[in-house]
Structure 1
Amino acid sequence: MTTLFYRLPRLTLLIIFIAIISGIGAILTLGRQEDPTLVERFGYVLTAMPGADAERVEAIVTEPIERRLQQLPEIAEIKSTSRANVSQISIDVREDLTEAEVDDAWTLIRSQVELARAELPSDVRTPIVERVYVGAATMLVSLSWQGEGDPPLAVMARLAEGLEDRLRNLSATEETELFGQPREEVRVVADPEALAAAGLSMTEAARLIGAGDAKAPAGQFRGSGSDIGVEIGGEFDGIARIRAVPLLQRPDGSALRVGDIAEVEKGIENPPTGLAFSDGKRAIFVAAYIQSNNRVDQWALQAEAAVEDFAVNIPGDIKVDITFSQAKYTNERLNGLAQNLLISALIVFAVLFFVMGWRSAIVVGLALPLTVALVLLLFRLFNYPLHQMSVTGLVISLGLLIDNAIVVVDEYDQERAGGRTVLDAIDHSLGKLFGPLFASTLTTALAFAPIALMPGAAGEFIGMIGTSVIFSVVCSFVIAMTVIPAVAGWLDRPRQAVEVKRWWRDGIKIDTVTDGYRWTIGTVLRYPILGVLIGVVPVMAGFMLGGSLPSQFFPQTERDQFQVEITLPPQATIYEGIDAAERAERLLKQRYPQITGIHFAVGEPGPRVYYNAFNNQRGVAGYAAGFVQLRSNNDTRVLVADVQKFLRTEFPEAQVLAIPFEQGPPADAPIAFFIEGNSLETLNRLGNEARSILAETPGITFTQARLQLGAPTLTINADEAATAISGLRLTGLAADLRAELEGVPAGSILEGIEEVPVRVIAPAQRRGELVDLRSKTIGNGAQGAGTPLAALGEVKLDPQTAVIVRLNGQRVNEIYGYTEPYSLPDPIFAEFQSKLEVRGFDLPPGYSLRIGGQAENQADAMADLLTLAVPLILVMVGAVALVFNSFRMSFLIMAIGGMSVGLAFGGVWMFNLPMGFNAIVGALGLLGIAINGSIVVLSLLQGNEAARNDDVIAQREVVVAATRHIVATTLTTMGGFVPIILTGDVFWLPLATAIAGGVAGSALLALYFAPAMYRIMTMKPIYRLFRLLSGKGWTHPARATVAAE
């Protein structure tokens, strides 16, 4: 069976052909995207209650909805923000749920919110449940006004909707979204005093107007011959119809109509709830998102054609521009990784040529395209896309996937050099190596399995690295056991009894070096304590040096964009937010010529141009967020820190952030913690104390407390009796004021498929000045005249709570700390914790502190990773024990794997890198990679009877004979990481240096430490001690067999 593929060349060639064609077909059809797709575990519930302050919103809106949501075990975390007029509840679904289970969880969430809706007062608007798409827009198109005067927002809105329809109808479009979209409405502007003179209030007028909009069906007429639907004519179809609605019927038969006492006009909602700007011009952004596992580049070509065709018929003063296209970044990322893959392949082939000779290099090199083709085929079968994680997994595994082929070809050459025929050499080589290579493949796959199986956002982000490596090593094992021996036999040459060594044919071999190396191995075997020291000393040094490195979750990305956020005080208006965004755009363009574009959204979250860049600042008028486009990636690193300092100087009244985009799962801030308790005043005091200490910590540029007190609120202390004389109760007074200030819905107009709401509201001059509010008349009074509001009681400004934050139903004060761009938050946070202890910061009873931000994300990710790693390591121990039929050998090999982690840490230290999550991932993967050489060496020692019998010369020759493929596999594995190391990619460099450094050290462990430990374990006194301790007595090793051990 082992020689089947050699004996049937047509079968082998057919398999090679099928593999190559399948790989080419897969790469042409696989989906392509820049980053992995994350499951939509995050979302929010947004509920408006116009006119209510933060504490009332918390009690009446937030708490009932939270209570319902807390009944769902599928929810991991509920964080709510209650502010004036609006409640926002952010939801995080548990990370251990699958994508299908997450979908079911959101169905349950909507059901619970609907149940809570029945408990809310009538003046609370319908809650909006929204899942947050975790990912960047595939394409972002802006429609901006370039002409003079006010922009035609209604026209721009219709055009944006038309473009959205075009992009939505493209094949593979997942969803679309509009940013800065103005909302049209029909306003019935009525003078409250005129209404009062007619005996009507604003709410009564709105009710009468809404009653005239007959859209409701009137039932079904069921006759003997047919059933016919019944409708009432008179629904709102235009402004004229609304003007004609009768409000009162006079005694003379005439009617008081809406047009008699009110102005009816159609326009844009004022004030707006959200706006967008592109390079300082009023704009509407149309974002389109592609379905996962599709080719971004092909979809982008369709979308660009659709946008170009759409722009042909657009008025000249409206500019249609593709602001962002993910295809550009995807192509750059994948092309760069493909280039690294090619360079790595060339390096690997060069190493093989110099170490093993041209013939062996060709045979072993054949494993590269065959394995990659099979891996791509598996990607296609499992519907995995190509993105930076999956392709990087291929780059990582490039040196690994030929290890098995190197060992097989080298062993085959040695068998042929020993005089065996081709068939016997193939049969004997595979028979000897199948077990050890299967064990090494299994351990490598198990080492990367925790990465592939890791749950949650971090697992979804990096999981394809583990999957790619597992696919690669499994496919390489299959190729090495089947195709490679056959090709080695076909390309073999006639062997002579005595041959002159040629370096291009047999690989470089320097006798002096070989003799010196043989002497070192012999010395280590005679004095095995030297081999132990050679292994232990660098490992201990690696652990010590690695322990001194600062920690980091994921680094910032190298990108020609960065984020800008401006948060004004809570009482700021949307117009102040607009002024801040326009001024920031103007100042940045004047100061920094490297900026090519600035795009802002005000009053709502901005469009997402990076996969983890999203925020939940909805309904905040004084909030502006956007991104800045630069000429190059390097400009971001140069400018972003200075931009933040400059904007903070120019906007002292605001909280300003200018930060680069970061890799990994989204986090609210680099440093975040929660103080939990009940009293808002105590939470505010504790938060201010902690925040002041945090602000003094070196490296902190800006701090923020989510709990905010002291927002000005206009309080009317109305006398209840006086209010009753005017014909109202206190609730009626509140409703009447709310109707005048905010407006009251009163039906809608259907224009095609668009529904334009109708709102009854007081004139703008009645709503903009405090004196107008004080002089406002209420009710009809005893003589039919209204009562001035000031006569009912005192009208004054009082400080009220602006923002209340709750975490899982408990009030908290969430403190954010922002660091210098590209700095490490871990040492800064450690310094802050030390300052807390020095200052004696203690929490009173009933209050607690919880860590959040990147530290929480990193702790959760490490816990998920280690939870999977521990049982899989135990499986590795059992697998090795079965192959060697020895628990001693199994524990020795796993000890070598553990020692390799210290070598990985040393590799990270040598490049002065932080101990990031990727470095830990690399060290964990190294656990399976580093033991491969030791498995081969120990299996060969076990298979040599003289070596088992403590023959030092035999042990030395076994190790020397195995050295070539150990060195070759080490150099090829390290060579696969050379392009990543040379490019200096901050994201992949820790992983590459960890594995490369560990692999380099693993050769020492395999060639010196493992043989020395084997010698110690087979020395007669030691062996006798093992036998006596086990209660089996003592048998001379010469009469012992492998099975008897």
Structure 2
Amino acid sequence: MISKSLFENGRYLALLVISIFVVGITSYNSLGRQEDPSITPFVATVQTFYPGASPARVESLVTKPLEDALREHPDIQELDSSSINGVSTIIIEADYYLSRAEIKRVWSELRGKIDRVTPDLPEGATKPVFDDDLFTDFVKIIAISADEGIDISPSLLRREALRFADAARKVPQTRRVKHYGLPDEEINVEIDGTALSSLGLSIDDVARTLALADARTPAGRLASPNSALTIEVAGDFADIQGVRDTFIKANPESVSGIRISDVATVTKSETDPPLRLALSNGRRSVFLAVEMKAGYQVDKYSAQFEAFLEDYRANAAEGLTIDTTYDQSGYTEARLAGVAKNIIAGVLIVVAVLFVTLGWRAALIVALSLPLCTLLSMVALNYLEVPIHQLSMTGLVVALGLLVDGSIVVTDEIRKRLLGGDEPLEAMQQAVTRMTVPLVSATATTVLAFTPMAILEGPSGDFLGSLATCVIVMLITSLLLALSVTPALGARLLPGAMTERPAWWRSGIVLPKARDWFATSVDWSLKYPLASVLLAASVPILGFASVSTLTAQFFPGTDRDQLYLRVEMPKSAGIEATLELVRALDDDLRAEPLIRRVDWSVGESPPAFYYNLRSNKRNTPEWAESMVLTYDENQTNALIRKLQTKFDRKYPQAQILVLGIDQGPPVDAPLEVVLYGPNTHTLRVLGEQFRQRLQELPDITHTKLSISPAAPKIEFQLDEEKLRRLGLERTQVAVLVDGYLRGRFGGAVIEDTEQLRVRAKLERDAWQDAEQLLNLQIPVPGQLGKPRFVPLSAVGELEIVPDDAPIGRKDGERINKVQAFLTRGVLPEEALKLLRQSLEKNPIALPDGYRYSFGGDSGEREGVVNDLIGPVGLVMSLLLATIMLTFNSWRLTALAFGVVICAFGLSFLALALFRYPLGIMALVGVVGSIGVAINACIIILTSFQQSPAAASGNRDAMRDEVLDSSRHIISTTLTTFGGFLPLILEGSQFWPPFAMAIAGGVLLSTIISFYLVPPAYVLLGAPQDNRIERAQLKASKGALA
């Protein structure tokens, strides 16, 4: 017995305690630290551009071939796609059961499949871009901009941003640096359309000439017996002047010929219009998002990066501002400090309770077991590579309320035997023998209760898995310490009968009247067992009945000094129109006294500043998104509601969503209806009906359709007869117009390590509106092979018509997603309940072949709950085996199972009494309450079994056993409740439901422990031939023989 060796040799005990402290602290310092768990990259996107193609053509020629190839892979769980005008986007979701290494393998194999399909895509479609970097946990986001009042060119801003990124990558433990809002530079050759047509040339001719003039093709090698020389043709574009000097056509009247500069303006500039923009506090900026290597500590990394940042600022160019827009280390330190503060407060409450109930020496022993257990757990967590973050710390909080049970029970058992006159060694050995089976059984049942959460896969598993792992690890280490170190300490430190004085602070408070009242109540319950069982069972039954009053929730929001805006303009809007609205919004936001900083990304998603935000928008001119910091996290939700109302009224031309930060896996919208069917038009009509039904609900701020109303487009009606006479085809006209407007690339200029492509295009002033487009000159075959030019109006006319609607698909089936967004603070389940009632009262008729399902928070929550329930069969079988091996009685096993069920009802009742929602975190608390309830049940039942008189049904003996166990049961109940009390009183959205489910459930579980378990034992018929008696009888027969 380990505890005996530790008791008899104090040096061993001291060495073990010191070793645990040293190894535990070392392991803690080696653990990674971050604010929240990282989401495994299960999701990737494939984006392909097919300029000018309608959604139907994009779907049939691009999206479907790619989908068919991707669906062949066995590890793909779901495919969602969107085909809009000129763009195909496919969202791939890999199987949740894959490891990170396996996911990388899957992504690599999918890239190969895409490469094999790419040659079959239509001409004009770009190469598909595969992006598996949607969820990135950035530690720092840096904004580089000009000082207030200083104008800086996009070119200089780009160079400074890239220079900073190169320097930041050299900071130790930096994984990568990504840039957002980086200006794209190119060499623009803006050609005079009249001069170009007078020369008989087209944009394609100019681009071809530029490409041929930029000599970069190797001319071979000159090999001889003595040397081998590479041959190159001089004449590549060394600078922008080389582009200007390029000859495009011989001039009969001049020896020099006609150069590019004679018919075009050549400049180095940002792409026009820009693809993306970033604003930081109203100024043009570039965001640099810094990612730390996995497993490192964010606080240490942040200190290193701040030192680098200080040095870099000191040597940066004048007129440049380098700001930190987001720093995860500050949030991490505040979050972990807050949890640590609550843990310390809980520990103090635990020690105070034990000081009163068991005396100061017992309280000291249990207080010492807490850091020992925590530090020993750090060794296991370091081996399992579980970092320290909010959820793993939550696991420590859960375990705090559970792990003291073993130490309290063993300490109290030794205390009682010492006060009864036993020698320390004998008291320790008997206490360990008495409590080993109950403690192992109670620990095993609690570990099994958390097992489904520990093996949960997918984003929810990333979020909850570390919590359950921490609980399981700490429970196991607590059990090991409770059966080894704690008994040795108890036998050495606890007072004996000869030295004990009646002072309450030595042996615990004694309240004779309360004890007499309690004994009387237990006697009554044993005398009238059926009435007592019914009365006690009515409490959890009331809890189950109250479940229907609880509002379901996925994950709670978080109290944070951050919010963000998503702005979506009409599909026809250009990035300049979006930027104009963004500047107006930016002025309004920065005028708010509660807001301290505003940053914007226009045309793309900003860097993710929270672990569950996706950066999945790019090259989207009608899109903008902001990151907003406030001064007071407690007033952020009220500010969100205020801003949403204000912007809806002030800016009706755009859909503006003011959103807060929520916990848990990513959800696109809190309320969502997904319609399935074959016909896009029918899906659009049905979607509009559901959208109107959602809009009628209270607290709905905005609704959105994936098959949205079509944007206008310009359509050329070409005259076939005129085309035939001119010798043109429709495709030729389309290509020529596209070349005039978007330009054609030809050659490139190398500057340092960057390649600036040369784009030849028509002057922008020549095609500002639809009427000017009709004046574009189209080359047609002329006499003697010389082209002649006719205006576009000569071959047809244009009209403004509605564009085709976007087409969405899910696993190969067409869909329309109807999304709704809610007033901040309103639970999605409440709105969903109203929607269900509306649909039941007045259903929306669906044609044959069409159906709908609910997504959003409800769909994700249902998926998580199903995943948690999945392994319940195996867990219940193991739980049954554990309890059966403990009691060796089917009746007692059934009783223990009944206690587990009652524990659920008690936690539900606690939530209902204080009107908390039933979210995933509350369910975690419900599971956690089972441990204490089953622990008390096992202790009482094993005490009955180990007492011959109580086992035979002697009610006085049963009462004495209950009274004997009551002190440590009450102590564990009060310590668990006290440990979670600071979290309940904290008032945040995250902690109180979770803490109340545990603390309230455990407090109410005393009713079950004292007034249901003992009388139920009587009703089940106390078995005379229990295993204790059988063992004693067998031993006596052996002695007689």
**TM-score tier after normalising by the smaller chain length:** over 0.9
Q: Could you report, residue by residue, the CA deviation over 1:968-1001 in whole angstroms, capped at 9, with x for unpaired residues?
A: 1111111110111111221121111111111112
Task: Indicate the SS of the match to 2:881.
Answer: helix
The aligned runs of 1:984-995 (5 Å cut-off) are 984-995=987-998
Q: What is the deviation of 1:1036?
A: 11
Match of 1:740 in 2: 740
Range with greater deviation from structure 2 (130-139 or 666-675): 130-139
The reply to whether residue 79 of structure 1 matches residue 80 of structure 2 is: yes
The reply to whether residue 934 of structure 1 matches residue 940 of structure 2 is: no
Task: Note if contact 1:923-1:995 (Cα within 8 Å) is conserved in structure 2.
Answer: yes
Distance 1:122 1:223 in 2: 44
Task: Indicate the SS of the match to 1:993.
Answer: helix
The reply to whether residue 775 of structure 1 matches residue 778 of structure 2 is: no
Task: Note if contact 2:415-2:494 (Cα within 8 Å) is conserved in structure 1.
Answer: no
Task: Note if contact 1:196-1:780 (Cα within 8 Å) is conserved in structure 2.
Answer: no
Q: Decide whether aligned partners of structure 1 residues 505 and 126 sit closer, same or farther in structure 2, where only a CA change above 3 A counts.
A: same
Q: Could you report, residue by residue, the CA deviation over 1:915-943 in whole angstroms, capped at 9, with x for unpaired residues?
A: 11111122123333320111111111111
Distance 1:892 1:352 in 2: 29
Task: Note if contact 2:953-2:1018 (Cα within 8 Å) is conserved in structure 1.
Answer: yes
Q: Could you report, residue by residue, the CA deviation over 1:208-241 in whole angstroms, capped at 9, with x for unpaired residues?
A: 3213333344455555456554444333221122
Distance 1:915 1:421 in 2: 51
Match of 2:759 in 1: 759
Match of 1:606 in 2: 606
Match of 1:1026 in 2: none
Match of 1:435 in 2: 437
Q: Could you report, residue by residue, the CA deviation over 1:529-588 in whole angstroms, capped at 9, with x for unpaired residues?
A: 133124311101111123211111012110111111111111011111000100011123
The reply to whether residue 273 of structure 1 matches residue 275 of structure 2 is: yes
Distance 2:95 2:291 in 1: 24
The aligned runs of 1:535-574 (5 Å cut-off) are 535-574=536-575
Match of 2:850 in 1: 847
| Aligned counterpart in structure 2 of residue 477 of structure 1, from 472, 476, 479 | 479
User: What is the letter of the counterpart of residue 883 of structure 2?
Assistant: V
Match of 1:894 in 2: 897
User: What is the letter of the counterpart of residue 697 of structure 2?
Assistant: T
Task: Indicate the SS of the match to 2:484.
Answer: helix
| Aligned counterpart in structure 1 of residue 413 of structure 2, from 411, 419, 422 | 411
Match of 2:49 in 1: 48
| Aligned counterpart in structure 2 of residue 1013 of structure 1, from 1013, 1016, 1027 | 1016
Match of 1:263 in 2: 265
Q: Decide whether aligned partners of structure 1 residues 1039 and 17 sit closer, same or farther in structure 2, where only a CA change above 3 A counts.
A: closer
The reply to whether residue 797 of structure 1 matches residue 803 of structure 2 is: no
The reply to whether residue 489 of structure 1 matches residue 457 of structure 2 is: no
The aligned runs of 1:234-383 (5 Å cut-off) are 234-248=235-249, 255-383=257-385
Distance 1:122 1:235 in 2: 29
Q: Could you report, residue by residue, the CA deviation over 1:602-635 in whole angstroms, capped at 9, with x for unpaired residues?
A: 1111222211122533332111111221101022
User: What is the letter of the counterpart of residue 314 of structure 1?
Assistant: A
Q: What is the deviation of 1:500?
A: 5.3
Q: Decide whether aligned partners of structure 1 residues 904 and 262 sit closer, same or farther in structure 2, where only a CA change above 3 A counts.
A: same
The reply to whether residue 968 of structure 1 matches residue 971 of structure 2 is: yes
Q: Decide whether aligned partners of structure 1 residues 259 and 529 sit closer, same or farther in structure 2, where only a CA change above 3 A counts.
A: same
Task: Note if contact 2:612-2:666 (Cα within 8 Å) is conserved in structure 1.
Answer: yes
Match of 1:811 in 2: 814
Match of 2:659 in 1: 659
Task: Indicate the SS of the match to 1:535.
Answer: helix
Task: Note if contact 2:186-2:757 (Cα within 8 Å) is conserved in structure 1.
Answer: yes
Q: Decide whether aligned partners of structure 1 residues 49 and 1042 sit closer, same or farther in structure 2, where only a CA change above 3 A counts.
A: farther
Distance 1:368 1:776 in 2: 81
| Aligned counterpart in structure 1 of residue 916 of structure 2, from 910, 913, 918 | 913
TM-score when normalising by structure 1 = 0.95
Match of 1:5 in 2: 6
Task: Note if contact 1:725-1:782 (Cα within 8 Å) is conserved in structure 2.
Answer: no
Task: Note if contact 2:924-2:994 (Cα within 8 Å) is conserved in structure 1.
Answer: yes
The aligned runs of 1:626-705 (5 Å cut-off) are 626-705=626-705
Distance 1:339 1:633 in 2: 18
Q: What is the deviation of 1:133?
A: 4.0
Q: Could you report, residue by residue, the CA deviation over 1:991-1017 in whole angstroms, capped at 9, with x for unpaired residues?
A: 111111111122222222111111122
Range with greater deviation from structure 2 (218-227 or 689-698): 218-227
Q: Decide whether aligned partners of structure 1 residues 423 and 573 sit closer, same or farther in structure 2, where only a CA change above 3 A counts.
A: same
Task: Indicate the SS of the match to 2:911.
Answer: helix
Q: What is the deviation of 1:40?
A: 1.2
Any stretches of 5+ residues in structure 2 without a counterpart?
1035-1041
Q: Decide whether aligned partners of structure 1 residues 283 and 432 sit closer, same or farther in structure 2, where only a CA change above 3 A counts.
A: same
| Aligned counterpart in structure 2 of residue 862 of structure 1, from 852, 860, 865 | 865
Task: Indicate the SS of the match to 2:833.
Answer: helix
Q: Paired residues, what number?
A: 1029
RMSD of aligned Cα (Å): 2.1
Match of 2:826 in 1: 823
Q: Could you report, residue by residue, the CA deviation over 1:47-85 in whole angstroms, capped at 9, with x for unpaired residues?
A: 122222333322222222222212222222222222223
Distance 2:916 2:33 in 1: 30
Range with greater deviation from structure 2 (78-87 or 936-945): 78-87
Range with greater deviation from structure 2 (799-808 or 992-1001): 799-808
Q: Decide whether aligned partners of structure 1 residues 666 and 1042 sit closer, same or farther in structure 2, where only a CA change above 3 A counts.
A: farther
The aligned runs of 1:719-738 (5 Å cut-off) are 719-738=719-738
Match of 1:169 in 2: 170
Q: Decide whether aligned partners of structure 1 residues 760 and 113 sit closer, same or farther in structure 2, where only a CA change above 3 A counts.
A: same
Task: Note if contact 1:147-1:318 (Cα within 8 Å) is conserved in structure 2.
Answer: no
Match of 1:1032 in 2: none
Distance 2:236 2:938 in 1: 83
Q: Decide whether aligned partners of structure 1 residues 30 and 259 sit closer, same or farther in structure 2, where only a CA change above 3 A counts.
A: same
Match of 2:1038 in 1: none
Task: Indicate the SS of the match to 2:607.
Answer: coil
Distance 2:379 2:871 in 1: 27
Q: Could you report, residue by residue, the CA deviation over 1:734-785 in whole angstroms, capped at 9, with x for unpaired residues?
A: 1111111011121222222212111111111122122221011211443543
The reply to whether residue 595 of structure 1 matches residue 595 of structure 2 is: yes
Q: What is the deviation of 1:134?
A: 1.9
User: What is the letter of the counterpart of residue 301 of structure 2?
Assistant: W
Distance 1:434 1:837 in 2: 56
Task: Indicate the SS of the match to 1:118.
Answer: helix
Match of 2:215 in 1: 214
Match of 2:926 in 1: 923
Q: Could you report, residue by residue, the CA deviation over 1:819-842 in whole angstroms, capped at 9, with x for unpaired residues?
A: 110111112112112212323301
Range with greater deviation from structure 2 (225-234 or 290-299): 225-234
Task: Indicate the SS of the match to 1:273.
Answer: coil
Task: Indicate the SS of the match to 1:3.
Answer: helix
Range with greater deviation from structure 2 (226-235 or 426-435): 226-235
Task: Indicate the SS of the match to 2:387.
Answer: coil
Q: What is the deviation of 1:897?
A: 0.6
Task: Note if contact 2:38-2:137 (Cα within 8 Å) is conserved in structure 1.
Answer: no
Distance 2:104 2:885 in 1: 42
Any stretches of 5+ residues in structure 1 without a counterpart?
1024-1034
Task: Note if contact 1:948-1:1018 (Cα within 8 Å) is conserved in structure 2.
Answer: no
Match of 2:1037 in 1: none
The reply to whether residue 503 of structure 1 matches residue 541 of structure 2 is: no
Match of 1:1029 in 2: none
Task: Indicate the SS of the match to 1:132.
Answer: coil
Q: What is the deviation of 1:358?
A: 0.9
Match of 2:983 in 1: 980
Percent identity of the aligned residues?
Answer: 33
Q: Decide whether aligned partners of structure 1 residues 797 and 72 sit closer, same or farther in structure 2, where only a CA change above 3 A counts.
A: same
Distance 1:908 1:405 in 2: 29
Distance 1:1037 1:97 in 2: 47
User: What is the letter of the counterpart of residue 469 of structure 2?
Assistant: T
User: What is the letter of the counterpart of residue 554 of structure 2?
Assistant: F
Task: Note if contact 1:942-1:1042 (Cα within 8 Å) is conserved in structure 2.
Answer: no
| Aligned counterpart in structure 2 of residue 872 of structure 1, from 859, 875, 895 | 875
Q: What is the deviation of 1:390?
A: 0.9
Distance 1:221 1:393 in 2: 71
Distance 1:407 1:1036 in 2: 24
User: What is the letter of the counterpart of residue 1001 of structure 1?
Assistant: L
User: What is the letter of the counterpart of residue 307 of structure 2?
Assistant: A
